[in-house]
Amino acid sequence: MAKKALKQNSKYGTGPYDSLRDYMEAIETHGNVIRIKEIDQDSYELTGFMYKLLDKHGWLGAPSVIVEKIKISGEWVDGPIIVNQYGMAGHEAMAIGVPLDEIEEGEHILNYKRALNKMMEIGDITPIKTTEIDKADAPSKEVILNEDEINILDFPFFQTNPGDNGRFINTGNLITVDPEQGRNVGTYRMQIKGPRKIGISPEKNQDGWKSLMNSGKDVAQAVVVLGTDPIVFAMSSSKTARTGQDELEIAGGFKGEAIEVVKCENSDIRVPANVEMIIEGEIPLNDFEPEGPFGEMYGYMGKPHEETFYMNIKTITHRVNPMFVNQFTGVTRGYVTTPGEAASIRGFSKFMPELRGFHIPIDHVGYLFLSIKKTKPHQGLELAEKFNFLPLGKIVIVVDEDVDIHDTKEVFRTVGARWQPHPGAKIIEDTAGFFLDPSAVIRGRSSRILIDATRQLPEENGPSPYPKLNRELLVEHAPEIFDLVEEKWGHLL
C-alpha cells in the first residue's frame, strides 16, 4: 500500500523539515554549501558568481551559497542571504525525505529520480488542516515593526541584474483570502517602490490575481511571507495544489503533519508561523501601477507590466537575525519540483493511461517531455495534443517509455534517430502561450510544435521491422556483459 506522507523527520538528517532554517542546517551539515563573507552587489559580484557556478556545475549540480554581508547602494548590509538552496538534486531529495544514505555525491540525475520515486510512492495527497499556534510561540513574531519603524530598504533585498528596474523581493509567498478560493498562497516577485511600498506581480491568469480581484472590496488585506519551509515554498511556487485547494493544507498532506499557522497583527489571515519574516499590508484593488522590467525565467529581460498591484506595508514581523533568500531567476532552479511532477503524472495518467512520464526540464524552458507505452498508431501526437492547455510546453516531445526523459541529451538523440518530421509533427498556429516567452509577439499567445519521436509503427509509415538498438543486441547476445565488465574492468571505469 502507498505510504501516505513523507513524515520521518530528523532535524539534522533527511527531511521533510519544519523550517527553512532546519533545512539549511541539514544541507550545510551534509556539505555542498559555499559561504561567502562579503560580496559587492553594487558591482553585481553575486550575479556573476552564480553564473560561473552554474556554468561549472549545471542546474542540478550547483552547490548552495550563503552570503554573510552584501554591499547594496553603497551600504554593507547583514545577511545571511541564501542562494540556490534548491538547485542541487541531492538537496531536493533531502527536502522531500529520501534517506541520506541513498543520496550520492555527484549523481544528480539519479538523486532527482530518487526524489521523484519517493513522491510517486506516497500516492494521492490528502490535505491536512493547518493548526494555529499562539503568537508568543511563533518564531516569526520575535521582532515587530509598526508603520513608522518600517523601511524595507534596510533589508538585503537587492538588484540582481543591471536590466532590472531596481531592487526586488523575489521569493515572497503572497497570502490572500477570498470567498471563492479561500486561502491562496502564491510566489510572485515584488518590486521595492519605497520604504513601505512594494509591487505585487501575479500575472493576470494566476489564482493570486483572481483571489485579489475576488475579494470584492476597494482594498484587500494581504500578507507576504518570506523563508517558508521547502514543501510550503514548492506548493506556493507551483500548481501542485489545484485552484481552490489551500496550498498550506496540501503541504501538510505531503509532510504528513499540519502546517502551524499564526494570526496576523492587522487581519484575520493565518500564515505559516515558522518563517523568517511576515510583511502585512493593504493592496488597493482599483489602482494599478507599472512594474518591471525584470530578468525572467527564460534567461531574457522581460517586458515591463503596464499595470499591476502594489501593497502599502503596515507591519513587519520577523525572527531575530532573519535569513533572506534571493532567487536568481533564469540562472538557478527555484524550488523543489518533484512533488509537482509526481502529482502531474498521477493526475494525468488517470485519463491518459498510456502516459508513463511527464517532465518539464526547467533548464530548457519551453520544452515538455512526455513518455508513453504506445499501444496503437498515432497515439503520440494524439497524446501531445491533449496538453495544449499547458502554456509552458511550446515544444512537446513524445518518446517511448524506454527513453529517459530526465536525460535531455537522450531525448534529443532519440528525436534525431526515431523522428520523421513528416508525418510525426503537428504545428498549432495559435494557442495559449507562456506570458514570459521572449519570442512571443503577443503576450500569452504562441504557436506550438508537437513532435512524435516514438518508434513509428508500419501503420504510421514506420520501418518494418523497426531496427534494434546496438546495445539491445549486445545484451541479447551476452546478457551478463555489463556485470562481467564491472567485475573485471570496473577499476578502470
Ligand X SMILES: Cc1cc2nc3c(=O)[nH]c(=O)nc-3n(C[C@H](O)[C@H](O)[C@H](O)COP(=O)(O)O)c2cc1C
Q: What is the CA radius of gyration of the chain?
A: 24
* Contact residue for ligand X among 84, 159, 221, 237 (CB under 6 A): 237
* Contact residue for ligand X among 16, 97, 139, 202 (CB under 6 A): 202
* Contact residue for ligand X among 171, 191, 338, 456 (CB under 6 A): 171
The residue number whose beta carbon is nearest to ligand X equals 186
* Contact residue for ligand X among 130, 140, 327, 414 (CB under 6 A): 327
Which of the residues 247 through 286 are near ligand X (CB under 6 A)?
none
SS3 percent helix, strand, coil of the chain, rounded to 5, is: 30, 25, 45
Verify binding: residue 326, ligand X, rule CB under 6 A: no
* Contact residue for ligand X among 97, 139, 156, 186 (CB under 6 A): 186
Distance of closest approach, residue 201 Cβ to ligand X, in angstroms: 4
Verify binding: residue 227, ligand X, rule CB under 6 A: no
From residue 218, alpha-carbon distances to 199, 200, 267, 287 in Å are 17, 16, 16, 9
178 or 203: whose CB is closer to ligand X?
Answer: 203
- Give me 324's grid cell: 533572506
* Contact residue for ligand X among 184, 221, 338, 344 (CB under 6 A): 184
* Contact residue for ligand X among 158, 168, 335, 387 (CB under 6 A): 335
**Does 423 sit behind a cis peptide bond, omega within 30 degrees of 0 on the bond before it?**
yes
Query: What does the alpha-carbon distance between residue 427 and residue 444 come to, in Å, rounded to a whole number?
Result: 17
Query: What does the alpha-carbon distance between residue 27 and residue 84 come to, in Å, rounded to a whole number?
Result: 12
- Give me 42's grid cell: 553594487
Number of amino acids touching ligand X (CB under 6 A): 19
Verify binding: residue 228, ligand X, rule CB under 6 A: no
Verify binding: residue 206, ligand X, rule CB under 6 A: yes
From residue 73, alpha-carbon distances to 76, 189, 201, 292, 332 in Å are 8, 20, 24, 19, 24
Full strand arrangement of the beta sheet holding 260-263: 131-132, 260-263, 270-272
152 or 250: whose CB is closer to ligand X?
Answer: 250
Virtual torsion, Cα 245, 246, 251, 254, nearest 10 deg: -30
Verify binding: residue 189, ligand X, rule CB under 6 A: yes
Distance of closest approach, residue 301 Cβ to ligand X, in angstroms: 14
Query: What does the alpha-carbon distance between residue 374 and residue 387 come to, in Å, rounded to a whole number?
Result: 17
39 or 83: whose CB is closer to ligand X?
Answer: 83
- Kindly list the residues in this chain that would bind ligand X in the complex (CB under 6 A): 170-171, 184, 186-189, 201-203, 206-208, 237-239, 327, 334-335
